Amino acid sequence: MLQGRGAGIISRRRRIWLADMKKLLLSAAGVVLLGSGLGGESPTARMPVLLELFTSEGCSSCPPADALLEKFDREQPVQGADLIVLSEHVDYWNSLGWADPFSSAQFSERQREYANHLRGEVYTPELVVDGAAGLVGSDEREALSTIRAAARSEKAPIAVTAQRSGNRAKVSLHIEAPLDGVLYLAVAHDAMRSQVTRGENAGRGLSHVAVVYSLQKVAKLDRKAGGDHDVVLYVRPGEKTRVVAFVEKSEGGRVVALGQARL
């Protein structure tokens, strides 16, 4: 009788131990799956956010902003956000000692449109986030706060595919959601460097990321229009290139769709 009772106690203890081990193993597996993004809910897709830096090689305050934009592009520091960057070099500094080789009157005009829309001023360096907020381009703290807020706003993705042949590229754009606004396409050098010999930055070697050299309107969209567009672009040979497509609610307005490809 004692042997039978002892065996029963041991059996019950073994069942309890096995049950406890099973719970422990399941708990550990749950931690591993959650940490790897394989269990429960799937990871949230990153929201694209457009960063446009209005800058100039003739401005001594601009190099820190150029470096910050490169950092944002390289490190992608905002969780849940896919930062898509563009450097747009203005030309209104060109008469003050150094003609910026990447500058264009088009980008100066674009910045003025933003100033009117955002009721702000024209200055460098200025960072415009999703066409909805402008700030000093070297202010990392303010930029991060503005980017986090922008990443919480829904935006339609644009699927961008590009095929290059010599100095031409065929770009196909697909927008899933019906939208109202203006569709733009920017073509940019992936990265550029230059040696400044005059002006406020004389003697400095400057580097830039996603330097825009072409910005064009592709189409005016309405909710009845199709979401597929094909464009043939000129691209500068022998250089890595970025192609960025975005939709603004109006000219100089908030960005509501965004995507990019690299060549």
Transcribe 125-172 into DSSP letters.
SEEEETTTEEEETT-HHHHHHHHHHHHTS--EEEEEEEEEETTEEEEE
| pLDDT score of 176 | 85
Per DSSP, helices labelled H in the chain are 2-36, 62-75, 105-118, 140-151
Give per-residue pLDDT as tens, 154-175: 999 999 999 998 889 999 999 9
What backbone phi and psi angles, to 5 degrees, belong to 242?
A: -115, 140
Return the CATH fold of 47-262.
Answer: Immunoglobulin-like (2.60.40)
Predicted confidence (pLDDT) per residue in 7-55, tens digit: 454 455 555 445 554 444 444 333 333 333 333 333 458 999 999 999 9
On whether the pTM is more than 0.75, the answer is yes
Asked if residue 2 has pLDDT above 60, the reply is: no
Residue 237 half-sphere exposure toward CB, CA atoms < 13 A: 4
The mean pLDDT value for 83-103 works out to 97
- pLDDT at 140 > cutoff 60: yes
Q: Which residue has the tokens 């799956």?
A: 33
- Mean pLDDT score of the chain, rounded to an integer? 86
- In 3D space, the residue among 140, 137, 151 whose CA is nearest the CA of residue 84 turns out to be 151
Distance of CA 136 to the CA centre of its chain: 18
| CB 216, CB 204: distance < 8 Å | no
